[in-house]
Chain A
Amino acid sequence: MSFAELVAASNYSFLRGASHPKHMVGQALALGHAGIGIADRNTVAGVVRAHVALKEKQAEARELFGHDVPFKLIVGSRLVFADGTPDIVVYPRTRCGWGRLTRLLTLGNRRAEKGGCILRFADLLEFAEAMVLIVLPESSFDPDEVDEAKGSRPESEDSSNVVTLEFPDRHPGLVPGPTGQQATVSRLEKQTPAQGRGDGRLERVLGRLSKALPGNVWLGVSMSRGGRDRRTLARLCRIADEARVPVLATCDALYATPEQRPLHDIVTCIRKGETVASAGRLLEANGERHLKPEEEMRRLFRDRPEAIDESRRILSLIAFTLDDLRYEYPHEPVPPGWDPQDWLEHLVWQTALERYGPWVPRKVFDALMEEFWLIRHRKYAYYFLTVHDVVKYARSLDPPILCQGRGSAANSVVCYLLGVTAVDPVQFDLLFSRFVSAERDEPPDIDVDFEHERREEVMQYIYRRYGRHRAGIAATTFHYRARSTVREVGKALGLSEDVTQRLTSTVWGSYASSMEDDRFAMAGYSLENPAMAQLKTIVDQLLEFPRHLSQHVGGFVLTQDRLDETVPIHNAAMDDRTFIEWDKDDIDALGLMKVDVLALGMLTCIRKAFEMMRCHGLGDHELASIPQEDPAIYDMLCEGDSIGVFQVESRAQINMLPRLQPREFYDLAIQVAIVRPGPIEGDMVHPYLKRRKEKRERNIEIKYPAPAPLHGPPDELKEVLHKTFGVPLFQEQAMRLAIVAAKFSSEDANRLRRAMATFRNVGTIGNFEEKMIGGMVRRGYERDFAERCYKQIEGFGSYGFPESHAISFALLVYVSSWLKCHHPAVFCAALLNSQPMGFYAPAQLVRDAREHGVAVRDIDVNASDWDNDLEGGALRLGFRQIDGFKQDWADKLAEARAVGSFTSIEELAARANLPARALRLLADADAFRSIEHDRRSALWEARRTPGDVLPLFAAADARQLGAEADAQLPAMPLSEHVAADYQVTRLSLKGHPMEFLREGFRREGVLSSAEANARKNGARARVAGVVLVRQRPGKGNAIFVTLEDETGIVNVLFWARVFEANRRQIMAARLMEVEGEVQKSEEGVLHIIGARAIDRTAELNRLSEDHVTRPSMAGADVSLTPDYRHDTAPRGSHPRDVRILPKSRDFH
């Protein structure tokens, strides 16, 4: 075969290409082409995917035929110029050419604001060396596109300048750039194919390029079936011959197979904001832009057969593949004169001596020697040193930024000794070599979490230290998800918003990556309806398409040489940020180094707690210095007392704690990992708990799942599973299982691992199903176990959780539990000062602290600061709890107070010089009690106190306000105070709203939560309370609602059927009464299985008649499930729109 399609776009030509890169490659292989050239519009974002796809195909071929298929992938970019120059597809011939291409693209990207790329012909001439250029006859530039991306509109005068400068001798006159004209003509006129034809532009571009780069320029011609293909071909051949440029046959392919034409039409409509019915000739007249077999191409180009063979010649010219991108680590962290490995070892030995003295323990020594060998062998020294460098910087600040590493390589002795983590891997038998296997030629993985409020400082340090040309943030590819896809496809098909809205409302959360059939039924539509069937077909195809690139939360790529010679760089939406075009998976696939600089709210909280303890003489601590294995902490956790504790504070985790009974550090790692989709979907939780109990209580020997005797030793899995009692819980256990039990080759396992990591993106994991289950069953494992293992892997696919992550997190669980257990006041204050973070609202955190014996004091102008703080062992609430209060008001107030306490509101206003709004907020927060004003009188007074004091009065230190008769305001009842407290500070120390309604509820026979929790299993009960959280986790079979009253909280579970019958009440109620049955588990976890819900919100009005409770008003659908993704900072914001009570936190 001698044909290859060299002008092929993937769906990384956003909303133009209609096939994934891997489908393009797959189809070219299936057609038996000699190769393929992937070139997307002004980007190389998709080429890595194509590269990886080809590698996988070759691996499959090797398995089937024993050798690679002769096929060559060349990668480049289709340059679309803003000055009307015809499109030019560029393929670098060498590594150097690649560097020039990426620099050229970077130039265009940086010129436009975020998202655009503005290139001119002159730019190409500057960079075009060591490249193959395929000039296409016409320009596909679309001025709207740049406009949308908010880039500057390409200057038409300027483009004319460029052309005139380029060809001064041949074309002295002014050539109007087509862009200026195009913008003004109507769409109908724009469609006329005259552009780029006959104005001599193509001839000039060819002439100029063939002179500049003789032998490297082609004219690409496609047969579009537009009615005069042969004449066009003849004309273009004439032009090419005159310029002495060979003609290349292409399809200008936008999709792999003809079946994708509808999809292509849809993406065109989405791009143009039209419907298919209205788009008219914005769509292609036919579906010819797919990859075609060679015979077909030969028939189409029978007038010019050599155009087919040129593709082979181009392939042979190109030596570059993405494997040539040799990565070099930045050299900064190593002092001159040192070899990186020596320097690393030097640093490690230094700290090892400090820590252990001259006698380093044998186990540590052995582990270190092994790690050093591996690091030397794989040349990772620079990587460890770079991470160390970043961490060292964060620690060197005053106050230091708290940080902790996690990830496979983070749990090495080297990292422990370098201070990157505080977890001693020797203690937990974490073998570094197990994570970084020798055959995997990939860089190690260390994510470093920093305090969320101060991460930016670290990021700016990295830019400073390595320079913007060498440091860039990785991209995150946003994909089409179920909701966005249905909405946009529905719009393009011309369905009404009501229909799509109804469909998308069946998807809880925006991250669902599939649109199952039953969703249509749920929304009341039948798939037999052709419109719906069509919608579904297209939605299925469009799902998982890349939508746009954005910056990753914190993955930095650092290089020794110019980064823009490896990958193009874009401007990010945020000022001062730049990001590269490749995402995490691409970077992994190419073996570039990435340092993840992530933000973690709990670290902020812990740092603030440590600081507070130092200030108040409660000890000087850091992560590593917390006393280990304190039984009091485990006692606390075993009771499910974990509100505020990192990772284990959610309802599901609280319920799991008493069942798991954590008694040692490693149990915490399991606790963190077990309430995750992987173990849950693999149904591993119950077996694990059972085995654990058996082992603990009766010391029954663990029976490992075993193959048939013929196939191997019965304890072949012991090595893999002994730490978790024979049940796989962690991601790497599942991987080892595939190798040991299903006999995956290490290469297979590697592919499985990659498929797992990118499951959400590409959905390749299904290929492994038969292989894994079949493999295990054939070797005599029980089918049920095999299926569960596979299910678990699928579950991991979305949110994989390896042991090393779990252990790093476990440390934070331990430290935060320690704080909660021994310093509850400090812990609560630090949590409040680090909001927003975590799972609970301030009211619950404060309530929990009070239940643990912490005295909590109200906000007061004579005692509080901005932050919540300790006051002789008690917790004094700070001004930051007041909604809308500003920090500089608090600072001014504290400054003015330094001289002496305030004695009147007017005096405070004058001394602190606060605006009227600040005074009113303080009064409304009831913060004037120390100067004998309750909320009502303070407000009455504050409203007439002018905020800004007139200078004359200030100078005379005189009272500005005259005396006034007593207004004789009625006294404010306590219930109204409580309601007002909730409105202003979202918590009240004076009481709970339910207290005031208790009488009425008791008469009706409604129990308090304390009473309900004391009921026996199976008893009927009615409870009522304020709704804290509504959740619909996982598959949505059950809805969990947490109710709170003055005696505590009670968890209610509604099965989906009951939920549907009571939907309105459950979704609407702020104050809910539930009738149901008490269900108590063995460990004493209590749920009320709701049979009926009653919306009692109206009762809240009785707290204060003047505040009419309106329906809750914050947005629904906060997130699909509690955030499983470990690589993001805590999300979700606090509802500011407060009526009488803060809105519940709903996770749909």
Chain B
Amino acid sequence: MRIAACCPAAAALGLAPDMMLADARARVPDLIGVAHAPYADHEWLEALADGCGRYTPAVALDPPDGLVLDIAGCTHPFGGERALGVEIEARLARRGILVRWACGETPDAARALSRFQTAAAPDEDAAIRRLPVAALELDDEATTALGRAGLKTVGDLAARPLAMIAARFGGAAVTRIRRILGEEESPLIPRVIAPPMRAERRFAEPVARTDFALEVLGELAGEAMNALAQAGEGGRRFEARFFRSDGQVLRLAIETGQPSRDVKVILRLFRERIDSLADPIDPGFGFDLIRLDVAVAEPLGASQLKLEGGAVAEVEVAVLIDRLSTRLGRGRVRRFVPRDTHIPEQAELLLPAAEAAKPAAWPEPEAGEPPLRPIHLFDPPQPIDHVVSDTPDGPPLRFRWRRTLHEVARMEGPERIAPEWWRRREGANAKGGLTRDYYRIEDVRGRRFWIFRHGLYDEVEQPGWYVHGLFA
């Protein structure tokens, strides 16, 4: 593992990028390491590029940590190149970002100056000629070779016939030199901003009818779905905005549990949402713009219909869950999910149905075997008393529950479930709780209980007994 980046405090301790983490730890044992997330860095850079949109529309990314701004003709509002640079520096410094910047005739020159310039120079050309050859960003071997040849600055190279350089370091090196010197054009490739999936309709006259507005929304949804289908995606979150002529904007958002391209489903969800609102859409003096954004989209392949017709149950359930969740709220619609544990009361979880991943399979009961788990679980388990049983692990022969005495007729067990020793509960002995011995019990009247003894006789002196559930 190597260090990808370090904070100023770490740098002050002599740590630097590209160092082995083990080496760094040998020097600074209490180093805090955080995993490098290049993707997050890239997103951050994109966000900065967005922000720089305020200075110029042409912003190009120079990953992993650079931005190139084409400021031709954009400097006057800020009072010139230098003032613009200072402004950017100050603005980003407020967010804790250290900026190195430079202006240049060509993007390559600006880039090289900002990254490699170490001392001020009278003019740009002199500054460029003073740059170390590393600024050419040739491969390591070529950079070393230039150094070995005693050519240490861009100026050293530029002073010699470029044919000599080409013969030794290839045409690409010459191109680099010429570009940095501004002798060759290097186009700036502005960042391509993926447009959000969006459909909108402007009206010459404000539209005052809600019905019509919804109809338009339907059309917009159709357009958006087509765009989604082309991208091989389905929307998970849709946002509709109704711009009223008086300047107010009404916003509606819906989500689906699975990516969807079904216009009908989306529209129905919007209707549900509108119905559930306390104050349905009020057009006031009318809407002059309606916009539909697909805020979150996920890959969705083409689906295949069943040849024999009819709906796929899974899809139906998903649609139902979406409708209910939209109407009642996400947290209100939940489903049971099995959990992989031996502890019975933790064996299932209730999760918001819209969030739950594809439902995992439940353990199948064995054919011909009576069920191991009861149909109803008490939470918490209910204590029983007057228990008569054999030590060390005999079943209860008789017990009293809810003031009724039960005589045991049949039983099976014990099923021994040991505590999860790694959970350190306060109070209980350090093993994370007590072992339980579960018995399936049928009393003389045919009622079936799931009873456990809490603790083995060598764990506690007087283990308690509980009914944990009832079989049908």
Give chain B residues whose Cβ lies under 8 Å from the Cβ of A971: 150
Given contacts A227-B415, A262-B421, A943-B169, whether A980 and B22 have CB atoms under 8 Å apart is no
> How many residues of B are counted as interface, with CB atoms below 8 angstroms from the partner's CB atoms?
62
* A1101 part of interface (Cβ distance < 8 Å): no
Whether A710 sits at the interface, judged by CB under 8 Å, is no
Q: A193-B366, A1117-B22 are in contact. Are A1111 and B150 (CB under 8 A)?
A: no
A1067 near B27 with CB under 8 A, answer yes
Q: Is the CB of A1113 within 8 A of B422?
A: no
Q: Does A935 contact B (CB under 8 A)?
A: yes
Q: Is the CB of B25 within 8 A of A505?
A: yes
Chain B residue nearest to A281 in the complex (CB): B340
Given contacts A286-B435, A1067-B23, contact A191 B415 (CB under 8 A): no
Bound-state Cα–Cα, A231 to B338, Å: 27
CB-based nearest B residue for A285:
B342
In the complex, are the beta carbons of A969 and B151 less than 8 A apart?
A: yes
Stretch at the interface among A74-82, A181-189, A639-647: A181-189
Q: Is B161 within 8 A of A534, CB to CB? A: no
Could you give, for residues 406-431 of chain B, a 1 whenever the CB lies within 8 Å of some chain A CB and a 0 otherwise?
Answer: 00000011111110111010000010
Q: Which of B14, B28, B413, B430 contacts A1095 (CB 8 A)?
A: B14
Knowing A936-B150, A967-B164 touch, does A1115 contact B424 (C-beta < 8 A)?
Answer: no
Residue of B nearest to A1030 (CB): B26
Q: How far is the CB of A953 from chain B (nearest CB, A)?
A: 16
Residue of B nearest to A228 (CB): B412
CB neighbours (8 Å) of A230 from chain B are: 412
User: A200 to nearest B CB, angstroms?
Assistant: 15
CB of B96, distance to nearest CB on chain A (Å): 24
For chain A, residues 189 to 220, give those with C-beta under 8 angstroms from any C-beta of chain B: 189, 191-194, 197
Pick the residue among B151, B339, B372 that contacts A227 (CB under 8 A). Answer: B372
Q: Which of A33-41, A671-679, A805-813, A1102-1110 makes up part of the contact surface? A: A1102-1110
A917 to chain B: closest residue by CB: B141
Min CB–CB distance B374 → chain A (angstroms): 12
Bound together, the chains give a CA A197 to CA B369 distance in angstroms of 12
Contact of B416 among A197, A288, A970 (CB under 8 A): A288
Q: B421 touching A227 by the CB < 8 A rule?
A: no
Q: Which of B23, B362, B421, B438 contacts A1116 (CB 8 A)?
A: B23
How far, in angstroms, from A81 to B34 measured CA to CA in the complex?
45
Given A285-B417, A1068-B27, A1116-B23, residue A1106 in contact with residue B147 (CB < 8 A): yes
0 or 1 for each of A940-967: is its CB under 8 Å from B? (1 = yes)? 1001100000000000000000001101
Q: Which of B22, B360, B430 contacts A188 (CB 8 A)?
A: B360
Instruction: Tell me which of A191, A278, A968, A1107 contacts B147 (CB under 8 A).
Output: A1107
Number of interface residues of A (CB under 8 A): 76
A943 to B144, CA, bound (A): 12
Given contacts A493-B422, A534-B422, contact A1064 B22 (CB under 8 A): no
A1063–B152 CB distance below 8 A: no
Which of chain B's residues has its CB closest to A191's CB? B363
Min CB distance A275 to B, Å, is: 9
| Residues of B115-155 contacting chain A, CB below 8 A | 132-133, 144-145, 147-152
Given the known interface contacts A189-B363, A1115-B20, A1116-B20, the answer about A1067 and B26 at a Cβ–Cβ threshold of 8 Å is yes
Residues in A whose Cβ lies below 8 Å from that of B20: 1113-1116
Cβ contact within 8 Å between B29 and A1063: yes
Q: Which residue of B lies closest to A537 (CB)?
A: B430
A405 vs B418: C-alpha distance in the bound complex, in angstroms? 57
Does chain B have a CB within 8 A of A1082? Answer: no
Chain B interface secondary structure, helix, strand, loop or mixed? Answer: loop
In the complex, the answer to whether A965 meets B161 with C-beta atoms within 8 Å is: yes
Looking at the assembled complex, report how far the CB atom of B159 sits from the nearest CB atom of chain A, in whole angstroms: 9
- A contact residues around B15 at 8 Å (CB): 1111
Q: Is A763 an interface residue, CB under 8 A from the partner?
A: no
Bound Cα distance A970, B161 (Å): 16
Give per-residue flags for B436-470: 1 if the beta carbon is below 8 A from chain A beta carbons, else 0: 01101000000000000000000000000000000
Chain A 1097-1133 interface 0/1 with B at a Cβ cutoff of 8 Å (1 = within): 0000000111100111111110000000000000000
| Complex interface: chain A residues within 8 A of B26 (CB) | 505, 1067, 1116-1117, 1148
Is A376 in the interface zone, CB < 8 Å from B?
A: no
Interface centre among A286, A969, A1114 (most CB of B within 10 A): A286
**How far, in angstroms, from A226 to B420 measured CA to CA in the complex?**
17
CA of A502 to CA of B32 in the docked complex: distance in angstroms? 10
Complexed CA–CA distance, A524 and B150 (Å): 51
Chain B residues lying within 8 Å of A965, measured Cβ to Cβ, are 161, 164
A262-B422 contact, Cβ under 8 Å, with A227-B414, A283-B342, A1106-B132: yes
Given A225-B415, A936-B150, A939-B148, verify A186-B29 contact (CB < 8 Å).
Answer: no
Contact B27 A261 (CB under 8 A): no
Q: Is the CB of B338 within 8 A of A188?
A: yes
In the complex, A1114→B226 CA distance in Å? 55
Partner of B168 from the list A502, A944, A1115 (CB cut-off 8 Å) is: A944
Nearest-CB distance from B351 to chain A (Å)?
A: 16
Q: Least Cβ distance of A1139 to chain B in Å?
A: 11
On whether A940 and B149 interact (CB within 8 A), knowing A193-B366, A534-B422, A1064-B27, the answer reads yes
Query: Which of B150, B372, B437 is close to A970, meaning CB atoms less than 8 Å apart?
Result: B150
Question: Is B33 interfacial (CB 8 A cutoff)?
Answer: yes
Residues of A near B414 (CB, < 8 A) are 225, 227
Is B361 part of the contact surface with A, judged by Cβ < 8 Å?
A: yes
CA distance A1105 to B413 in the complex (A): 81
Which residues from chain A contact B440 at a C-beta distance below 8 Å? 227
Q: Which A residues are CB-close (under 8 A) to B25?
A: 501-502, 505, 1116
B307 located at the interface, meaning its Cβ lies under 8 Å from any Cβ of chain A in the complex: no
- Please report the C-alpha to C-alpha distance between residue A785 and residue B461 in the assembled complex, in whole angstroms: 52
Q: Which residue of B lies closest to A277 (CB)?
A: B422
Known: A980-B148, A1106-B147. A231 touches B422 (CB 8 A): no
User: Is A498 a contact of B412 with CB atoms below 8 Å?
Assistant: no
Distance between Cα atoms of A228 and B370 in the complex (Å):
10
Residue of A nearest to B342 (CB): A285
Shortest distance in angstroms between B227's beta carbon and chain A's nearest beta carbon? 36
Contact A285 B23 (CB under 8 A): no
Flag if A186 contacts B14 (CB, 8 Å).
Answer: no
Q: From the candidates A286, A972, A1115, name the one contacting B150 in the complex (CB within 8 A).
A: A972
Asked whether B19 is an interface residue with its Cβ less than 8 Å from the other chain, the reply is yes
Q: How far is the CA of A501 from the CA of B30 in the complex (A)?
A: 10
- In the bound complex, do residue A943 and residue B416 qualify as a contact, i.e. CB atoms below 8 Å apart? no
Judged by a CB distance under 8 angstroms, whether B205 is at the interface is no
Q: From the candidates A524, A936, A1068, A1105, name the one contacting B30 in the complex (CB within 8 A).
A: A524
Write the chain B residue with the least CB distance to A231.
Answer: B412
Asked if A287 and B340 sit within 8 Å, CB to CB, the answer is no
Residue A172 at the B interface, CB < 8 A? no
Whether B32 and A939, one on each chain, are in contact in the complex, defined by CB atoms closer than 8 angstroms, is no
Q: Is the CB of A498 within 8 A of B147?
A: no
A265 B421 Cβ-Cβ under 8 A: yes
Q: Which of A188, A193, A227, A276 contacts B438 (CB 8 A)?
A: A227
User: Is there contact, CB below 8 Å, between B23 and A943?
Assistant: no
Knowing A187-B340, A1113-B23, the reply to whether A227 touches B418 (Cβ < 8 A) is no
Kindly state whether residue B65 has any CB partner on chain A within 8 Å.
Answer: no
Measured between C-beta atoms, what is the minimum distance from B199 to chain A in Å? Answer: 40
Please, how many angstroms separate the alpha-carbon atoms of A964 and B148 in the complex? 19
A1113 and B22 within 8 A (CB)? no
Question: Which of B14, B340, B361, B372 is the most central at the interface, judged by chain A CB atoms within 10 Å of its CB?
Answer: B340
With the chains together, A280 CA to B167 CA distance in Å?
66
8 pairs across A/B with beta carbons < 8 Å? A231-B412, A279-B340, A281-B341, A286-B417, A943-B145, A1063-B27, A1067-B26, A1110-B16
Closest 6 CB pairs of A and B: A280-B340, A227-B415, A1106-B147, A225-B416, A943-B168, A286-B418
9 new A-B contacts, CB < 8 A, other than A493-B422, A965-B164, are A188-B362, A225-B414, A225-B437, A262-B422, A498-B32, A523-B29, A531-B424, A964-B164, A1115-B22
Interface residues of B (CB under 8 A from A): 13-16, 18-20, 22-23, 25-30, 32-33, 132-133, 144-145, 147-152, 160-161, 164, 167-169, 338-342, 360-364, 366, 369, 372, 412-418, 420-422, 424, 430, 435, 437-438, 440
